[in-house]
Amino acid sequence: MRYVAATLVCFLGLLTRVDAQINLCDTFTVQKYEPIPVAVSPGHFIDGFQVNVKDVNYHITINKTKKVEFVSSSDSSFRAGTVAVGTPYISIPKRMIVAERPNYGWGYEVVMKNGWTAVFADPIVYKSLKASRDSKVSWFYKSSDCKLYTAVSE
């Protein structure tokens, strides 16, 4: 797989944190333009990039103002809090769950308090549209519109 050479500039100190991740609305500057199609919903693809930050692979999309609008990862090194790719459904603490829902075409989604959505995509999920106790997280995503608001000058 090819990786895009890129630099992240984050106003929140993304690259200095121990648990560094790509966050929504971070500023992302592309140095080498090699777009790939990124699925942002079932059947809906937007040009984006495959990037590696702190040894974790991500797929991202950016808007015209260079803000990250969508980020996903299926990398086994990625962790959304205490939940990682491969974590069984039964092991996700109930206190972390905000909502659960089937997403036709993707699988079963568990929205977590930390803003990440865990996606379960195994044969049981596709058959029943519900994660079983033993279903494992296949990947994670976050999305946002990252609207920029400018202050009204006096």
The secondary element (H helix, E strand) that includes residue 87 is: none
* Residue-level pLDDT at 4: 38
Residue span of the structural domain in which 66 resides = 6-73
Q: Is residue 83 part of a domain?
A: yes
Q: Are 85 and 68 in the same domain?
A: no
Query: Is residue 140 pLDDT above 70, yes or no?
Result: yes
pLDDT at residue 9 tops 50: no
- Whether 99 maps to a domain, the answer reads yes
**Per-residue pLDDT reduced to its tens digit, 10-68:** 322 333 333 457 777 777 776 666 889 999 999 899 999 998 888 899 999 988 888 88
Please report the pLDDT score of residue 75 as a whole number: 95
For the chain, how many structural domains are there in total?
2
pLDDT at 139 over 90: yes
Final residue in a domain of this structure, among 43, 73, 103: 73
Q: Which two tokens stand for residue 111?
A: 């929205």
- Does 39 share its domain with 62? yes
Across the chain, the runs of DSSP E, i.e. the strands, are 6-9, 27-30, 36-41, 44-53, 56-62, 68-73, 79-80, 83-84, 97-103, 107-112, 117-120, 137-143
* 3-state secondary structure labels for all residues of 129-145: CCCCCCCEEEEEEEECC
Q: Are 69 and 83 part of one and the same domain?
A: no
